[in-house]
Chain A
């Protein structure tokens, strides 16, 4: 697993790009910018674009958004952002930070509307010619968002030159988007363009197409050509169907994501409950300890945030696991056969642990930095994008589950653990050291909780109450799925995660939670020992 993780790390560090500063040829152009007339500026902008440098793009963008200034004292062009008492300025050529300048010390490089249109084209063209597929797609998408006739020549040229089919498809859409918004296009052209748009998977297209189906206050279509209205409606229908399909997928993704978090937080609880019949109320605090372990590891290696999270996984497992063994040896062992008392004692421990963390780390929430390779999102297409951190957590939780299943089925420890779950006395008679199994199981369950804390630290802030927020949901998973069967936990976690996410938009987060609780209360009417209870003969007393 470590190998896989480090491979991933290498892969993603390759993807990272450093902006390159100090390209040749820009300097003379920038020197002229502060004094140039609008006509001269136009020429200067296109020459800046011709340098094809990252820096040139940044400068053009800054001009377009009104963030490029020059310093009156030495006529240096600078990027400026509003700051207290003036502007924080950075040299546009070297990227050197020049501190804060007063309002009167700098002056904006002004543009007019004509120039603004030109800049837009230049920026789009800049990116359309990029070497990277992802940037070309991004550029084409931005044209769909904001189509304008001025960009038509650029787009047509890009379509001719483009060899990558994915980029072609987006460019075709961009072309169609320009055609439908252009007043001078013919009806036939627009109709063809509408059918192209109808094939798209991009949520921005919906807005474009629906313009044709707008009605005035009398209920008449604003669009005079009935032919266009009907083809727009047809296109809209397929687009909306697609949109709702991808919304469903998005919801499924959120559901699986929540489900995998629940799986991570509940699986340790299910194991300890299955083997020892005790509920560990301090389980949530084990999660919290794992999260704080992540935070601490990150503090210890501030220059290697990307690696720290991978280091934190074994650290959190060990810290929480050892804490679990300690608790078992010191407290739970003495309360054997008294599950309710165990529940109370572990609850007491959870209070102590919370206060301990509060005393050590302060009661305030701490935030763990998300490493670069986990931030951002994966845009599957124009209608669906999935965030990386959730994707990784899903993968991670399944890896943990897989490792656990292997441990349970393939190792002698797992065999002994299952034996104790089924019949403690018999297992003991066969020579299994049940006390040792208890301690190890408790350590394992707590360790997994710690690992869950690592995952949670990527989703929420780390605070003393972190564990509490998840503990009741985890209990629900255990009650629903039954104990002693990992697949029961998986199924329960996933279905509760899904149910939560699908009910949330309809009923709101709180009502969804309440409804799930009511469902579980009704559910245990029929299956009091959970969905996947171990079959066997039990007498409760």
Chain B
């Protein structure tokens, strides 16, 4: 690839990306170390609960990246991205379910507990192969990717855009939620998949496995960030922005707009699927609630808060809002929805560029940079 050299230097040359990757690297190293090395009573010790919590935020951040890629750069507002996240999560959950083996409540060597409970005699065909990690890993990419491809192909080909597209994606995730709530679907119905024991032979309850998952999440988040950055910084990315700003004009210039949209939509779904797959072993459960439309729409607000079209803004937004959620739902459970709803309104009304825009517009960043430059110059 001839593009890579200039791209990498461009990536690292950009101040925001450098900062972002640096902070992420520090977090990825420091948090597990503080958990494993320092003893429990030390002031520097980070509890396993916190490791898992931050790991969860990293998965959400990845999901936010996926949404920012299509919404921020291509103007596609998907209100159903939670579906791809949940599908990736279910694929991972199925692998973890099969790993339980005969350690379940009913002790059936092949069938997961809920199937024994439902009196099923044998494993349904779509559960075959999930005892192999490589197969599950393939499915984590393949299932969300295929769904996004078919759905996107149908939608973009017929030029479904704007709010129409948003509504249809919302209906998609809603339909999937209804389907997964059914016991007959064979995905554990209401309760979903849970009681996981180990992954690739490592016990999920130990600190070391949790820290490993944390590091993997951070690394994959960084990889997703670099991938998105690469996509958006390339010529391809410029076309995406053109589609976002003036779809018809781009089409009239001879670009096959629907191909660009479809490609970026599928990439975004793949990232979301991987995020879901990392999320499930850390939180220990996946249920149909993940498909609910409100979850998908919450992702949008993470991106909007952080500032769309910047990638790192999406990550910041995801972490901020989720930290807020963790805090509010514990401290003032009744106020959380007021707060979240208020965020939606205030961000769309007053912060069209998100928190990042707020900082940039106030000139804070510019002043800082200017002072630095003058220092360097002088």
Chain A residues near B (Cβ < 8 Å): 273, 277-279, 331, 334-335, 338-345, 347-356, 358-359, 472, 475-476, 478-479, 510-511, 513-514, 517, 520-522, 524-526, 528, 539-541
Contact = CB atoms under 8 A, between A and B. Distances in A.
Chain B CB count within 10 A is highest, among A277, A356, A524, for A524
Given A335-B348, A513-B175, A352 B337 contact: yes
A301 B207 CA distance: 62
A349 B158 contact: no
Given A351-B344, A472-B293, A341 B301 contact: no
Contacts of A541: 246-249
B314 to A, nearest CB: 15
Contacts of B161: 540
A513 B178 contact: yes
In this complex, which of A342, A476, A517 has the most chain B Cβ atoms within 10 angstroms of its Cβ? A517
Contacts of A355: 334, 337-338, 341
Contacts of A343: 77, 163, 166
B345 A345 contact: yes
B180 to A, nearest CB: 10
B178 A514 contact: yes
Find the residue from B77, B167, B182, B304 having the highest chain A CB count within 10 A.
Answer: B167
A46 to B, nearest CB: 57
A189 B255 CA distance: 84
A476 B158 contact: no
A521 B168 contact: yes
B216 interface: no
B175 A517 contact: yes
A102 B348 CA distance: 68
B67 to A, nearest CB: 12
Among the interface residues B77, B164, B352, which one has the most CB atoms of the partner chain A within 10 A? B164
B347 to A, nearest CB: 8
Given A351-B337, A510-B178, A525 B154 contact: yes
A502 B308 CA distance: 44
Nearest to B249: A541
B342 interface: yes
Contact of B168 (A347, A524, A540): A524
Interface in B140-169: 151, 154-155, 157-164, 166-168
A472 B171 contact: yes
B179 interface: yes
Nearest to B343: A348
B241 interface: no
Nearest to B349: A334
Contacts of A354: 337
Contacts of B181: 510
B116 interface: no
Given A343-B77, A541-B247, A541-B248, A348 B171 contact: no
Which 6 residue pairs across A and B have the least CB separation, nearest first?
A: A348-B344, A351-B341, A352-B341, A355-B337, A348-B341, A345-B348
A521 B158 CA distance: 10
A385 B304 CA distance: 53
A510 B345 CA distance: 33
Given A344-B300, A522-B154, A528-B159, 13 more contacts: A338-B348, A348-B345, A355-B334, A355-B338, A358-B337, A472-B170, A472-B171, A472-B174, A472-B293, A479-B164, A517-B171, A521-B154, A541-B248
A509 to B, nearest CB: 9
Nearest to A510: B178
Contact of A348 (B168, B170, B340): B340
B171 A520 contact: yes
A472 B170 CA distance: 8
Contact of B341 (A338, A349, A478, A520): A349
A406 B209 CA distance: 68
Contacts of A514: 175, 178-179
Nearest to A353: B341
B178 A352 contact: no
Given A517-B171, A524-B168, A359 B334 contact: yes
Nearest to B71: A340
Contacts of B248: 539-541
Q: Place the interface of chain B in its size category.
A: 35 or more
B338 A279 contact: no
B157 A340 contact: no
Interface string B303-345: 0100000000000000000000000000000100110111111
Most buried by B among A277, A278, A351, A511: A351
Contact of A351 (B249, B300, B340): B340
A340 B178 contact: no
B172 interface: yes
Interface string B233-244: 000000000000
B172 A517 contact: yes
A541 B247 CA distance: 7
A397 B160 CA distance: 30
B137 interface: no
Given A339-B162, A510-B182, A513-B175, A540 B345 contact: no
Contacts of A350: 341
Interface string B280-291: 000000000000
B357 to A, nearest CB: 14
B297 interface: yes
A278 B167 CA distance: 12
Contacts of A356: 338
B352 A341 contact: yes
Nearest to A327: B345
Nearest to B250: A541
A439 B204 CA distance: 56
Given A345-B344, A472-B293, A521 B164 contact: no
Contacts of A348: 301, 340-345, 348
28 contacts: A277-B163, A279-B167, A334-B349, A335-B349, A343-B166, A344-B300, A344-B344, A344-B347, A345-B344, A347-B297, A347-B344, A348-B340, A348-B343, A352-B338, A352-B342, A354-B337, A355-B341, A356-B338, A472-B170, A475-B171, A510-B179, A514-B175, A517-B175, A521-B155, A524-B160, A528-B160, A528-B164, A540-B248
Given A340-B163, A479-B167, A528-B160, A349 B345 contact: yes
Nearest to A518: B175
A116 B301 CA distance: 71
A273 B166 CA distance: 14
A528 B347 CA distance: 31
Nearest to B164: A479
Contact of A475 (B170, B347, B352): B170
Contacts of B342: 348, 352
Contacts of B174: 472
A345 B349 contact: yes
A356 to B, nearest CB: 8
A504 to B, nearest CB: 13
B162 A340 contact: yes
A73 B349 CA distance: 77
Contacts of B340: 348, 351
B163 A339 contact: yes
A140 to B, nearest CB: 44
B341 A521 contact: no
A520 B165 CA distance: 12
Nearest to B178: A510
A476 B174 CA distance: 12
A115 B313 CA distance: 85
Nearest to A478: B167
Contacts of A278: 163
Contacts of B338: 351-352, 355-356
B170 A479 contact: no
A165 B340 CA distance: 66
A278 B293 CA distance: 19
A99 B126 CA distance: 62
B299 to A, nearest CB: 11
Nearest to A355: B337
